[in-house]
Amino acid sequence: HVQLVESGGGPVQDGGSLRLSCAVSGYTDNSYCMGWFRQAPGKAREWVASLYTGGGGTWYTDSVKGRFTISRDNAKNTLYLQLNSLKTEDTAMYYCAKGSGGNYAGWYNYWGQGTQVTVS
């Protein structure tokens, strides 16, 4: 079984920063996509960013461009999302996922348990 475990969430001030981590284990394929999604109570799940391991390309939803950065550390088998200049509207449960890529949640087959980010 593939396992994804998020960490790094918590309360943060307007304009502050956080770094979210996603530890990946149980899968040996070297070419795949990793993504970050978020979901607020009563809201639909929203795609945030993706990274392609085969070429290193990254993509972001418009609302986070210039503020968030997706990256990975191969030695630690960990995916990151750096969140800067945080706004109250960024408040949500953040999930990492592994799959085929894109901005549609259905293209991702494996999901973590989520980590809460609360901006106030």
Digit-by-digit pLDDT tens for the chain (120 residues) are: 899 999 999 999 999 999 999 999 986 577 789 999 999 999 999 999 999 988 889 999 999 999 999 999 988 999 999 999 999 999 999 999 999 889 999 999 999 999 999 999
In this structure, are residues 77 and 25 in contact, taking their beta carbons and an 8 Å threshold? yes
Tracing tokens 């396992």 back to the chain, one arrives at: 3
Closest listed residue to residue 34, CA positions, set 50, 58, 57, 48: 50
What per-residue confidence (pLDDT) applies to 9?
A: 98
Task: Report how far residue 108's alpha carbon sits from residue 75's, in angstroms, rounded to the nearest whole number.
Answer: 23
Residue 79 CB neighbours (<10 A): 26
C-alpha distances (whole Å) from 14 to each of 17, 73, 89, 91, 108 are 9, 28, 10, 10, 31
Task: Report how far residue 77's alpha carbon sits from residue 19's, in angstroms, rounded to the nearest whole number.
Answer: 16
Residue 17 CB neighbours (<10 A): 12
What per-residue confidence (pLDDT) applies to 5?
A: 97
What per-residue confidence (pLDDT) applies to 28?
A: 59
What per-residue confidence (pLDDT) applies to 26?
A: 86
Task: Report how far residue 32's alpha carbon sits from residue 70's, in angstroms, rounded to the nearest whole number.
Answer: 15
What per-residue confidence (pLDDT) applies to 54?
A: 83
**71 is written with which tokens?**
């990256």
Closest listed residue to residue 19, CA positions, set 87, 76, 82: 82
